[in-house]
């Protein structure tokens, strides 16, 4: 399980370098709007909205933009956004799961199918790749919030299963059904969270050469750049 989110680390680094990408704030705003529309407008009473706001803040999204996204949920008549999971196989037969938030599933499926095919992969039906993964709760915390020893201590106290640290953030892992209980306990000592999400973790990883890794990273980046894509997971060892 350790290191499962190396693509997330690469993505995090890429996001810091390319944070002017026009679709970044658009994706964040959309998730905030949908979360607010589906639940309470108060993030303290809406776990999905709270997580969306934390992700936006960690990406340096201005406070006014966040507030406008929440307010848009009251006036936005387009209530057809839905979360759809797509699965397939990329270059070198790696398994890939793509989570989307879309108001046009035909457009999204067509775009993703094109990306897969152009990179020597194929988009399949739900279940074709997900059996290679398990879902866990993942809470990411600013690296500067605490030392690795402190995070380890808090992980045990919160009832989580494991903690990992890299150059970008600390990551606390737990049972997916316990994620918000663990988060609530961590909030007693932690102020700055990057995200709180249920992620797909590969059961086994596919070894790749350095050249193959570059190819896979470019492929995953192309998927991630699609406006409708929220999260991308793979069993490639990057």
Instruction: Give Cα 145 to chain centroid, integer Å.
Output: 20
- Provide the domain limits for residue 99: 82-131+204-234
Give the list of residues 6+ apart from residue 181 with CB closer than 8 angstroms, or none: 159
pTM: 0.80
pLDDT top residue among 54 and 175: 175
Q: Under the phi-then-psi rule, with left for phi > 0, alpha for psi from -120 to 50, and beta for the rest, what region is 156? A: alpha
The reply to whether 193 and 208 lie within a common domain is: no
Mean per-residue pLDDT for 50-63? Answer: 85
Percent of the chain at pLDDT > 70 equals 89
Percent of the chain at pLDDT > 90 equals 58
Return the pLDDT at 58. 77
Query: What CATH number did the domain enclosing 44 receive?
Result: 1.10.10.200
The reply to whether 194 and 102 lie within a common domain is: no
For residue 195, what pLDDT band results from cuts at 50, 70 and 90? confident
Mean per-residue pLDDT for 70-75? Answer: 85
| pLDDT of 18 over the 80 cut | no
Mean per-residue pLDDT for 98-103? Answer: 93
Q: With contact defined as beta carbons under 8 Å apart, do 99 and 226 qualify?
A: no
Last residue of a domain, one of 75, 97, 118: 75
Domain presence at residue 1: no
The reply to whether 111 and 212 lie within a common domain is: yes
The reply to whether 44 and 12 lie within a common domain is: yes
For residue 220, what pLDDT band results from cuts at 50, 70 and 90? very high
């Amino acid at each position: 399980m350790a290191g499962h989110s190396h693509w997330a680390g690469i993505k995090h680094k890429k996001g810091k370098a390319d944070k002017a990408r026009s679709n970044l704030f658009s994706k964040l705003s959309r998730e905030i709007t949908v979360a607010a529309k589906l639940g309470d407008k108060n993030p303290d009473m809406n776990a999905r909205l709270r997580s969306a706001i934390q992700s936006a803040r960690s990406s340096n999204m201005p406070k006014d933009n966040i507030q406008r996204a929440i307010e848009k949920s009251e006036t936005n008549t387009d209530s057809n956004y839905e979360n759809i999971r797509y699965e397939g196989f990329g270059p070198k037969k790696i398994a890939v799961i793509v989570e989307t938030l879309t108001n046009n599933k035909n457009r999204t499926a067509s775009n993703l199918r094109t990306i897969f095919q152009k990179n020597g992969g194929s988009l399949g039906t739900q279940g074709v790749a997900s059996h290679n993964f398990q879902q866990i709760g993942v809470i990411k915390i600013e690296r500067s919030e605490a030392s690795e020893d402190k995070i380890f201590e808090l992980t045990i106290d919160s009832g989580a299963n494991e903690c990992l640290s890299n150059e970008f953030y600390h990551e606390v892992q737990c049972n997916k059904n316990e994620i918000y209980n663990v988060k609530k306990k961590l909030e007693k000592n932690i102020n700055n969270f990057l995200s709180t999400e249920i992620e797909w973790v590969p059961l086994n990883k596919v070894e790749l050469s350095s050249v193959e890794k570059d190819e896979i990273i470019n492929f995953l980046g192309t998927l991630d750049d699609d406006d409708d894509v929220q999260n991308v997971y793979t069993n490639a060892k990057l």
